Amino acid sequence: MRVVYLNRKRFTPELRMTAMIDVIFLLLIFFICTANFRPLESLMKTDLSLSGNVVTDIELPIPEPSQVDVAIIKITFDGAPQWNLAGNECTSIVQLRNLLNELKKIQDDLPVIIDSESNVPVEFVIDAYDSARAAKLKNIQFAANARK
């Protein structure tokens, strides 16, 4: 009896890694280019104190409760921001915060409308909004001009 051995080459599967590495690098470059590198607003530092109280020596006249149905914060900008709340001119955000805290004590569910001129930078509008939120006022709205 004769035994014949066939000379067979064993088939070894192999992966071509060069093409796979190229695809991974292309995906990596795509995700880096489309990533958003702006910081989240919730992580940005603000100058609001956690308690919402600011100590100052300035005394502001507080309007009578019957005079204020809606707190309208008017913001003007002429080189420096000015906030007007219930007839009181506030030249600093600290004054506005103190006045909003006092109005909150007078009327708990006081609605607030923030009305700014078109030339006011957004940061001062956000300061007014943050001040109203720090005073724990919940009904805060923005005034807008109707376009014709």
Domain ranges of the chain: 68-142
The phi, psi pair for 99, rounded to 5°, reads -65, -40
**Domain 68-142 indexed as CATH 3.30.420.270:** yes
Contact of 125 with 90, CB cutoff 8 Å: no
Q: Read off the pLDDT of residues 49-102 as tens digits, 9 standing for 90 and up.
A: 445 455 556 565 555 544 456 777 888 888 888 888 877 888 888 888 888 888
pTM of the model: 0.52
Q: Tell me the percentage of the chain whose pLDDT exceeds 70.
A: 69
Q: Which residue carries 């989240």 as its tokens?
A: 40
pLDDT for residue 26: 94
- Give the separation between CA 114 and CA 60, rounded to whole angstroms: 20
* Cβ within 8 Å of residue 108, ≥6 positions away: none
Q: Read off the pLDDT of residues 6-48 as tens digits, 9 standing for 90 and up.
A: 666 677 777 778 888 999 999 999 998 888 776 666 565 555 4
